[in-house]
Amino acid sequence: MEEILIPYGYPALFLLSFCAATLLPLGSEWLLATLLLQGSDPVLGVAIATAGNTLGALTTYAIGLWGSPLLFGRLLRIDGGARERAEHFYRRWGPWSLLFSWVPVVGDPLCLAAGVLRVGFVPFLLPVAVGKLGRYLVVALLVLQGERLLA
């Protein structure tokens, strides 16, 4: 996959980050790290990855708002149990739970549950974007710090 995505740089990072928050069980951190190690701008890389991943989460949220249970299972492969756990978690912690929308396995059901529960757009978007930005910032800082230590 590296050979396909790395030459496309930022557009590939956006697409992979988007897909990682929606349809496919992918990770985008490796591509951000690779681009940073190749000298890409860390601010731009973090911004693009955050935007792609946040828009992917918005897509999952929209599916929760307007989709059917068949769509949840077929498109997102989120079963009823995962959705119920996410809804319970959201009801308990409210919008703060969406700070964890970046966590693998948990994040997509949380975004879907927010849509199903008709969470408002701004109360959804702010914690999701902050959580995703935080993740990519940590990745970038670790990569850049590690590069300095190894140089």
Q: Would the CA dihedral through 81, 59, 63, 30 be positive or negative?
A: negative
What's the structural domain count of the chain? 1
Please tell me the predicted confidence (pLDDT) of residue 116. 85
> What mean pLDDT is predicted for residues 40-58?
97
Which stretch of DSSP H or E encloses residue 40? Answer: none
Which DSSP string do the residues of 85-119 spell out, in sequence order? HHHHHHHHHGGGGGGGTTSTTTHHHHHHHHHHTT-
pLDDT single digits (tens) 94-146: 888 899 998 887 888 889 889 988 999 999 999 999 999 999 999 999 999 99
pLDDT single digits (tens) 10-23: 999 999 999 999 86
pLDDT single digits (tens) 61-87: 998 888 877 666 666 666 677 767 777
